Amino acid sequence: MIYKELAYKVVGCCLNVHSELGPGLLEQCYHNALYYELKSEGFSSGYNVPYNVFYKGEQVGEYFADLVVENKIVIELKSVKILSEVHVAQLLNYLHISKCRLGLLVNFQGRYLEWRRMVI
């Protein structure tokens, strides 16, 4: 499994945030708290990391990944009732444009933390 130990520690940070804040807050609160948690655990983390999208050599757009850990794992955070295929597609797009191989889709909305691991 790719980045197994790193992913395990990152999910642990997500669990810490969810345990401390609980469900029901806006996504931005979890985003900020997880960034703080990752930094406090010694991880190199990027916040709203920009990635350019090119078409035939021309930049046609820009995406911002919520968090990128150690330049290896893209984290897409949500605070929604139900994760949808749109959320999955969003993370897959981030993985393709960032060239990272592992992504975590994390939903803080429920009573229990929900996450999905995606590898390309």
Domain with residue 8: its CATH number is: 3.90.320.10
Q: Three-class SS string for 95-106?
A: HHHHCCCEEEEE
pLDDT tens for residues 37-53?
Answer: 999 999 999 999 999 99
User: Which parts of the chain have pLDDT scores under 70?
Assistant: none
Range of the domain at 51: 4-119
Domain count, the chain: 1
What is the pLDDT at residue 3? 96
Q: Which residues contact 52 (CB under 8 A, 6 or more apart)?
A: 59, 61, 62, 97
What is the pLDDT at residue 1? 78
- Model pTM greater than 0.85? yes
Q: Are 37 and 29 in contact, with CB atoms under 8 Å apart?
A: no
What is the pLDDT at residue 96? 95
Q: Which residues contact 113 (CB under 8 A, 6 or more apart)?
A: 14, 15, 18, 106, 107
